[in-house]
Amino acid sequence: MSLPEIIRGKAYVLGDNIDTDQIIPAQYLTFNPSIPEEYKQFGKYALIGVPAAQGGLPKGHIPFHDGSDEFVSPYKIIIGGKNFGCGSSREHAPIALDAAGITAVIAEFYARIFFRNSVNGGYLIPFETPERLCDKVCTGDVLRIELKTSTLVNETTGEVVKLRPLGEVAPIIEAGGLFPFAEKAGMLKAL
């Protein structure tokens, strides 16, 4: 993944403590992400473990998949609260979000392993915010992330929020993950 200057898309808003079992439940870990057809299956089942996404939807709940494409969600940016990606060290969680078409996640803070798996695999861009955005942004709001300035613009409401800079993880994400970064930096022989 190369880092774009701007990421723009609809937001999907979640809360605190979204764990890896909610992002991709264990029963879907039989798919092999190195096989393209099976990689797509992770997108199909991404966030199916979020309680509101399971039968008996509460009033006002918006599903992650709209039915127009069973593998890719219409949302491009996830807004989370505290401790996003907690739970098991499941490396399939960022894979599932990537396969579903998510480009970036913005949360107050992440479980360390989810953050590292996102960066090391080059799957998605994990931004941190000093503000609690999951109480301000609505699912469906159109957001624009300007990477050079670490700025989030909610095009729906006009609100502008300063995100924490990506810092030292930016070149790793830009290279497509840890191994491509290490190869590019001369730390590894060409694979």
Q: Is residue 73 part of a domain?
A: yes
Q: Which two tokens stand for residue 135?
A: 């109480």
Q: Is residue 187 part of a domain?
A: no
Closest C-alpha among 132, 130, 80, 134 to residue 107: 80
Q: What is the CATH number of the domain that holds 75?
A: 3.20.19.10
| Overall domain count for the chain | 1
β-bridge partners, 154: 143
Enclosing domain of residue 88? 6-165
Q: Which two tokens stand for residue 33?
A: 């992400």
Task: Find out whether 104 and 145 touch, Cβ atoms under 8 Å.
Answer: yes
For the chain, what percent of residues have pLDDT higher than 70? Answer: 92
The span from the CA of 89 to the CA of 180, in Å, is 22
Q: Is residue 58 part of a domain?
A: yes
Residue type, 106: I
Q: What is the mean pLDDT of residues 163-187?
A: 90
The span from the CA of 128 to the CA of 143, in Å, is 15
Q: What is the mean pLDDT of residues 145-163?
A: 97
The span from the CA of 48 to the CA of 41, in Å, is 12
pTM value surpassing 0.85? yes
**Which helix H or strand E contains 22, and what residues bound it?**
helix 20-23
